[in-house]
Amino acid sequence: MNALDAELRALFRFVSERTILPRWKRLAASEIEEKAQDDLVTIADRETEAFLTEALTRLAPDVPVVGEEAAHADPAVLAALSGACWIVDPIDGTHNYAHGRAPFGIMVALADGGEAVAGWIYDPLNNRLCSARRGEGAFVDGERIAARATGEDPPVAAISTIFLDAARREAVNAHVAPHFRVVETPRCAAEQYPRLALGQNDVSFFERTLAWDHAAGALWLNEAGGRVARPDGSAYRVDEPDRTGMIGAASPALWDRLAGLYARL
């Protein structure tokens, strides 16, 4: 594990033990807010983002931090996504966390020119760190890994229709679901990306593709030898906040299989 990975892991573990885990299953109703329908934020999200913003600014004073909660409070923060920036999701899977369930995690990426160049996904409950640098491979706890499929036939598809309208939900059920063994997503990109690389799921698609949810995971899965891209095959960019739709898969062949079906939606 390189020095930056080790330093970030220490930061993630510290804030998890100080802020996130002590409040898990112990949040008061007054410590949970609904930002939008089915979109929650907790006091732990806000405190974790504040801590990581300060810590990352100390590491790189000239690199702005784009945090999920900061961007919600002031959308002008998103302008930094086109240049060099840190991208922070303080608790990915907040819906799970707020309801006292797992999984949830911390996601941080370093981007430049609209593309992620490094990414980290931390699981506080298992002290697992997934990390990647562009062109250097993907790692779990410092060990290089290669994405592997489940080997099941039909392949396993993790599909959520939460953010789909009724027509697209019906189309997914008619044109995609029959070709896979469909399982629920964990409602947590910090867990879904590892499942795609570590032999638990074969394919998944994401309707919402906000930078804090996907910058680290998309880079990590691509570096592991899987594939993450827009349904038309174009690369994911962090500076396209209004664009929707993305497919992730344990291999390029599995990606092609789902993309062909997705095109019919």
Residues 6+ apart with CB under 8 A from 118: 4, 109, 110, 131, 132, 133, 134, 219
Residue 119: both structure tokens together = 């990414």
Count CB neighbours of 152 within 10 A. 12
Spatial distance between the Cα atoms of 27 and 31, rounded to a whole number of angstroms: 6
Distances (CA, A) of 149 to 47, 174, 194, 209, 218: 37, 24, 12, 23, 16
The reply, when asked if residue 202 is annotated as ligand binding, is no
N-to-C CA span, the chain: 42
38 marked among binding-site residues: no
123 is in an annotated binding site: no
Does the annotation list 232 as a binding residue?
no
Q: Would you say 89 is a known binding-site residue? A: yes
Contacts of residue 46, Cβ cutoff 8 Å, sequence gap at least 6 = 69, 90
Report the side by side order of strands in the sheet with 156-159: 181-183, 156-159, 203-206, 246-249, 227-229
Binding residues for Mg(2+): 68, 89, 91-92, 213
Binding residues: 68, 89, 91-92, 213
